[in-house]
Structure 1
Amino acid sequence: MSFTVHRRFTAPIAVLAVAGLALSACSTGGTDSGSGEADGVVTVYGTISDTEAELLEQSWADFEEESGIDIQYEASKEFEAQIGVRAQGGNAPDIAIFPQPGLLADLASRDYIKPAPEGVAKNVAEYWSEDWAGYGTVDGTLYGAPLMASVKGFIWYSPAKFAEWGVEVPTTWDELLTLTQTIQEKTGAAPWCAGFGSDAATGWPGTDWVEDLVLRQSGPEVYDQWVSHEIPFTDDAIASAFDSVGDILLNPEYVNAGFGDVKSINTTPFGEPARALGEGTCALHHQASFYDGFIQDPANGNATVGPDADIWAFITPGETAGAPAVTGGGEIVAAFSDDADTVKVQEFLSSPEWANARVSLGGVISANKGLDPANASSPILQEAIKILQDPNTTFRFDASDLMPGVVGAGSFWTGMVDWINGKPTADVLATIDASWPAE
């Protein structure tokens, strides 16, 4: 996910500490607002909060002045639970920013969300890949347009240390394992650091590892079947991905650099490895594009990020070289109203103009093809944009965000914790699969 604060991420204090933001609690329009009549106010509801909310409002300030539309944004930590309640009660916002496509699909399938207007559909067709468009599409109808994005599966490292050890960035998974062994032999220390700790969400970084390996080893078709439960968690393809991740994370010679043994992964907060990377006690760490904010946080040592800086990153390689495939996250914008002002706001948020305006403010990226990568605030975000815009890249949304909440934000997370603690893979997979809701 971009460096937005969603249910999984707590951003570093130095990055997000700001004065309280006055957010509008009112909500107009919604499921009753289909008349096409505009009143000059468009309400937007989402999970984006704190500094990110301030920057979001800055990104549309010029549009508000030019259009005369007052966009009133409301953030909520209870978005996932409340958006359905509000829709059913006739008190939905005009527009919602969905961090989980599955939630959008659920409300669209129950006719709460309006199909995307023509201008939005044109923008999506021109500026977004088919993969991204698919996450806003339900039963062949486009309901929402993508907004921001993140690229997962980066592996963070020190270019200077690589040069010192005489090693290069790997291009295949086998080369990554060889690199890991080489660093361990040269240094006599565990190369990898990992942290799954995230309060009630502990375990989610492990799901990102598994998702990367499912996509890279078995391909997008199997990945999609897994997400929709056409194949179960107990399938050989998923077990194989766990085994491959275990070649690193369950090997006491390879983890947990600077923190302890294998089991310490569960008790290490996911942001802590940023400090170990900067201090040089950790050689390799797997985490998304947003992690540069943690690495450069003064509280973690203020290391620099870039190809020739203290820390840089490469994408987790696949089974073969030159076959780019990445997982990531983002948001989908959809509307409960179709009045003229709401349509104008939707069109703007799906445009390159908005993407460039927001990315220029820093901290986030977008997969919009009209976005200039030079507008990104850091080299890693520029690199992530290039990956997303590459027509050869296979992109898949974070699998756990697409699965039913009881699985993706429940048993999958806790299953990763159990696995790190020593529970056999087959038992972990059976337990997760048993939690899948009956149809």
Structure 2
Amino acid sequence: MMRSTSSTIRTHGAAGSTRATRAAAALAAGALALSLAACGGSDNDKKSGDDHSGGATGGTGGGTTVTLPKLDGQTLEVAAVWTGGEQKNFKKVLAEFTKRTGAKVTFVPAQDPIINFLGSKIAGGQPPDVALLPQPGAIKQAVDKGWAKPLGPEAQAQLAKNYSQGWQDIGKVGGKQYGAYYKAANKSLIWYNAKVFENAGASEPKTWKDLLATAQTVYDSGVTPFSVGGADGWTLTDWFENIYLSQAGPEKYDQLAQHKIKWTDPSVKQALTTLAQIWSKKDYVAGGAKGALQTEFPVSVTQTFTGGDQPKAGMVFEGDFAQVNIGETKAKVGTDAKVFPFPAVGSSAPVVSGGDAAVILKDSKAAQALVTFLASSDAATIQAKLGGYLSPNKNVPNSAYPNEVQRKIAQALIASGDDFRFDMSDQAPQAFGGTPGKGEWKDLQDFLKNPSDVAGTQAKLEKDAAAAYGSGS
């Protein structure tokens, strides 16, 4: 599964998270919109050796920028929920670590929620050395349970060198650095089949009203407008968060993320009602609600870009990491598969981010070295070149990204600095915001099934949130 990962950068309902993401999302949204508007070229329109960062990214990105110890004969296990191309590409990064240090690294596929997976491993006396945690809430839980170990001075030095303060802060708990955000996600993107739009005469929308008009235009051309990966509840939370952030604003977003306002608040009603403008039209969603609830995220992407000019849907909403799945089809990003920022529902377009942080569970010289490597520009540059990956590391050269669309998304992320909001469900206790079949994931799946029940959905969300926040789990 890829989640950024809801893959979709935030902390667990603490005041620190608000400070880390305090600036308005509008600034980053504007930068993203301008950047994506400039992308129209194909995958090969710029050579990989050309740096078009325009100063947004720095560093050399080549050679060795981090010193690692010799670890011959040592072994490490790294756990993450990544599958498919994402896992394959990360293993190449781990292989480079082995080449430089001599340590053997084994990737351990984890199940979501990863905290439960880690709990069973720890109970059995076999925890992995390092885990990639997709929620700041999970980092806090790992710290509260005594599992996570603070990062050493070498890893912290790489973070200070390569990351903005906001990205450093969201890996902290109680003022100590426990997480290094290796992977980021821009979760405010809608990908579309260029041929479908061309045949329909559809244009990229700027506002929610425009999006509804574009959807109707695509529908009138004989193609279902949207593909929704409803089997993975995190995709549905991302839909809600983008609408809520744009419509209710950053302050309300922070309050709801920390459960300082209830899910029965009128602002939630407004966002769900807006979301129902798409979800309530069964002909707007591929397979209707029933089909969407049986569609996992990777399929929601691939079915948008297969089938020639008659795919199962013309658009799919999700983060930059959708490129990994687009790459499994014959579609080329920038030509066959294009992208636009999530349209403004309120006064400005939203920018919702997500990410995966490396956390040490077994403190050792080798584990500290691995996280130091993952916090360096060396590791991130390797995976950037492989595609379908976005790094918050400001010293990854923009030219490392393999296509113009990805380069612009990366440039906008770095240029935005700390002006983002982290995925709301990832800030919540895992029982509410990160568990399949429970909490927000389940409640929004039920809402997709019955989008007319706004009040009932609010009541269920509030009941589940109150229980989870009250227990802290």
Which TM-score band (shorter chain)? Answer: 0.7 to 0.9
> Counterpart in 2 of 1:120?
155
Cα offset for 1:419? 1.7
Q: 1:416 aligns with which of 444, 458, 461?
A: 444
1:351-373 Cα shifts (integer Å, max 9, x gaps): 11110022223432222111123
Distance 1:168 1:396, change over 3 A: same
Cα offset for 1:277? 4.7
Map residues 9-408 of structure 1 onto 2, 5 A cutoff: 41-47=74-80, 48-49=82-83, 52-77=86-111, 79-87=114-122, 91-160=126-195, 162=197, 167-181=202-216, 183=218, 187=220, 189=222, 192-198=225-231, 201=232, 203-252=233-282, 255-256=284-285, 259=287, 261=288, 264-270=291-297, 271-272=299-300, 274-278=302-306, 279-281=308-310, 282-298=313-329, 302-306=330-334, 309-319=335-345, 323=348, 325-391=350-416, 394-408=419-433
| Paired AA for residue 380 in structure 2 | A
Give the number of aligned pairs.
397
Counterpart Cα distance in 2 of 1:63 and 1:49:
20
Structure showing greater relative contact order (alpha-carbon pairs closer than 8 Å, 6 or more residues apart) = 2
Cα offset for 1:316? 0.3
Counterpart Cα distance in 2 of 1:127 and 1:332:
14
Distance 1:396 1:280, change over 3 A: farther
Counterpart Cα distance in 2 of 1:83 and 1:149:
22
Counterpart Cα distance in 2 of 1:93 and 1:283:
41
Cα offset for 1:332? 0.7
> Counterpart in 1 of 2:13?
none
Counterpart Cα distance in 2 of 1:117 and 1:100:
21
8 Å CA contact 1:109, 1:138 repeated in 2: no
Cα offset for 1:130? 3.7
Distance 1:266 1:3, change over 3 A: closer
* Structure 2 residues without counterparts, runs of 5 or longer: 9-70
| Paired AA for residue 213 in structure 1 | I
Counterpart Cα distance in 2 of 1:2 and 1:396:
20
Between stretches 134-143 and 387-396, larger displacement belongs to: 387-396
Distance 1:191 1:346, change over 3 A: same
Cα offset for 1:336? 3.0
Counterpart Cα distance in 2 of 1:51 and 1:262:
28
Counterpart Cα distance in 1 of 2:166 and 2:273:
28
Counterpart Cα distance in 2 of 1:67 and 1:418:
49
Cα offset for 1:86? 4.3
Counterpart Cα distance in 2 of 1:204 and 1:343:
31
| Paired AA for residue 393 in structure 2 | N
Counterpart Cα distance in 2 of 1:327 and 1:206:
13
| Paired AA for residue 327 in structure 1 | V
Secondary structure of 1:289's match?
coil
Distance 1:287 1:343, change over 3 A: closer
Identity across matched positions, percent: 26
1:200-246 Cα shifts (integer Å, max 9, x gaps): x4x43222110111222223332232222222222222222211111
| Paired AA for residue 283 in structure 1 | G
Counterpart Cα distance in 1 of 2:205 and 2:337:
16
Secondary structure of 1:147's match?
strand
* Structure 1 residues without counterparts, runs of 5 or longer: 9-37
TM-score of the superposed pair, with normalisation by structure 2:
0.73
Cα offset for 1:347? 1.3
| Paired AA for residue 66 in structure 1 | R
> Counterpart in 2 of 1:35?
none
TM-score of the superposed pair, with normalisation by structure 1:
0.78
1:17-59 Cα shifts (integer Å, max 9, x gaps): xxxxxxxxxxxxxxxxxxxxx8852523312356544432321
8 Å CA contact 1:127, 1:352 repeated in 2: yes
